[in-house]
Amino acid sequence: MKVLVIGGGLAGSEAALQIAKRGIEVYLYEMRPKKFTEVHKTDNFAELVCSNSLGSLELEDARGLLKHEGLLLGSYLLNVAKETSVPAGKALAVDRMLFSKSITELILSNPKIHVVREEVLDFGRNDIVLIATGPLTSQNFLNYLKTIFQDNLFFYDAISPVVTRESLNLDKMFFGGRYGQSSDYLNVPLTEEQYKLLQKELSLGKQHLPHDFDRVFFEACLPIEEIARRGFDSLRFGPLTPKGFSQEYYAVVQLRREDKDGNLFELVGFQTALTYPEQKRIFSLIPGFENAEFVRYGSIHKNAYFRSNRILNLDLSSRNFPNVFFAGQITGSEGYSEAILTGLVSGINISRFYLGKKPLVFPQNTMIGSLIHFIVENDLDNPQPMRANFGLIPKDYFSIKKSLRKQKFIEDSTNAIKKLLDEI
Ligand SMILES: Cc1cc2nc3c(=O)[nH]c(=O)nc-3n(C[C@H](O)[C@H](O)[C@H](O)COP(=O)(O)OP(=O)(O)OC[C@H]3O[C@@H](n4cnc5c(N)ncnc54)[C@H](O)[C@@H]3O)c2cc1C
């Protein structure tokens, strides 16, 4: 009986390292570089396909708490993320190349992990398998999975452009963070006139959409032009909010540092489906962007996942095949940290299954437990991918005063994870 991890992304890499840590030989299948997804650019494991930020590190933020749990549980990827972080205030942002290269080195140097660079088309039913092929699972494999796990769902997701710092006119922007939180962001203040022009051009901008596109956007990650189309002020109340600065502005475009040296910056909230020429034309209207060099344009992609509420158990194994586990975005969870944590849980549970122990159900008084309970137990016909959030925690907590609720949950989750450490 072999242990196979299919997909060397965030979830698969974390899972393979967890399985190897428990002394078990694991075969990690990754189709890159023979075959690329629409957004991956390198042959590195754990490549971040869009933003370089893994979100907040603050415990009062659900994704911050999720990371705290992951670090307590010994997440390899989160530890590497900390080692390769770039300044981003209270968020954990990384130098993406350094991050994925470090993970790749960890995997390639691990004698228990056998890397196979092949597109998986199917798998033997007697092996122990982790499906972690992500939102851009190859079509051939997706077709195979559909024959076993019924229909899958999908939505469309967009990524933001990245520009070089040296191509920007820094006189028209300033370093600083909203609400005095951090000075690591570049901010471009817009006058009313400049905002008007940008809003108009964005709302009229020409998009490049997939041929079978049917306008199912993920509401939490709307393309900037879609936001612009929802009304004149929608950008000012969204990604271009002028709030939180000591001085008053009409609107502010923010840029987040991409790499350790600060040579690259991503436009925060500017995920887009505009054609490349339209991006160049319209984003060059932002003050200081007159000669901006785009090292990556924004783009839109299909994003596949399964209805976990019909196929998975709470330990992330599948209902019909106890030896087949799922992790990452394909479970209907959403986000980098969520992919890492579900990979960690599956890695632990596959190891237990292999060793003849009962896989663990993470309790609901942890953020990862709450998230998994939601994706597996919700009764929705068309669930949308879910991020960690405090709305998912057990309803008993809602009888606690709001100001104390998070604190109580953070305390409980920390204790629950510490208790689990003896078992894993
Ligand atoms: C365009 C886009 C942008 C996103 N932006 C963000 C963001 O900014 N922030 C955020 O938090 N989340 C973002 N997400 C969501 C999600 O967090 C990431 O996609 C994350 O990488 C998911 O991790 P994963 O391990 O599930 O999948 P991935 O990291 O995508 O890993 C899956 C791996 O499986 C491989 N693979 C696929 N099919 C096969 C096969 N048949 N055989 C072998 N290997 C295969 C792929 O090459 C890939 O390496 C984005 C998603 C998309 C699609």
pLDDT digits (tens, 9 = 90+) for 294-352: 978 888 877 889 999 999 999 999 999 999 999 999 999 989 999 999 999 999 999 99
**Res 214: pLDDT:** 60
pLDDT band at 213 (very low <50, low <70, confident <90, very high): low
Half-sphere exposure of 220 (CA within 13 A, CB side): 9
* pLDDT score at 241: 96
161-297 CATH: 2.40.30
List residues bridging with 187 in a β-sheet.
174, 254
Over residues 386-391, mean pLDDT: 88
Residue 219 is predicted with a pLDDT of 74
Our answer on whether the CB atom of 335 is closer than 6 Å to any ligand 1 atom is: yes
Report, at the CATH architecture level, how domain 3-154+303-420 is classified.
3-Layer(bba) Sandwich (3.50)
Atom index in ligand 1 nearest the CA of residue 302 equals 53
Nearest residue to 136 via CA among 387, 329, 306, 274: 329
Q: What is the mean pLDDT of residues 168-185?
A: 88
Any ligand 1 atom below 6 A from CB of 160: no
Q: Which token pair is 207?
A: 């998009």
Report the pLDDT averaged over residues 17-38.
97
- Rounded to whole angstroms, the Cα distance separating 168 from 183 reads 18
* Contacts of residue 395, Cβ cutoff 8 Å, sequence gap at least 6: none
The arithmetic mean of pLDDT across residues 392-404, rounded, is 91
Q: Where are the beta strands (DSSP E) in 104-210?
A: 113-116, 128-131, 152-159, 162-164, 174-175, 186-190
- pLDDT (0 to 100) of residue 211: 64
Q: Which DSSP string corresponds to 307-351?
A: -HHHHB-TTSBBSS-TTEEE-GGGGTB-SHHHHHHHHHHHHHHHH
- Residue 134 C-alpha to ligand 1 middle, in angstroms? 4
The structural domains of the chain, with segments of one domain joined by +, span 3-154+303-420, 161-297
Does position 10 have pLDDT exceeding 80, yes or no? yes
Per-residue pLDDT at 86? 95
Given a cut of 70, is residue 64 above it in pLDDT?
yes
Residue 209 has pLDDT above 80, yes or no: no
11 within ligand 1 shell (Cβ under 6 A): yes
Q: Which atom of ligand 1 is nearest to the CA of 303?
A: 53
Nearest CA to ligand 1 atom 17: 335
Return the number of other C-beta atoms located less than 10 Å from residue 124's C-beta: 10
Spatial strand order in the sheet of 53-56 = 53-56, 91-94, 85-86
Q: Phi then psi for 379, rounded to 5 degrees?
A: -110, 30
| Predicted pLDDT at 195 | 98
What is the overall mean pLDDT for the chain? Answer: 93
Mean pLDDT along residues 11-28: 98
What is the whole-number distance in angstroms between the Cα of residue 376 and the centre of ligand 1? 20
Give the integer Cα–Cα distance in Å for 144 and 126: 17
Dihedral sign (CA 9, 148, 156, 379) = negative
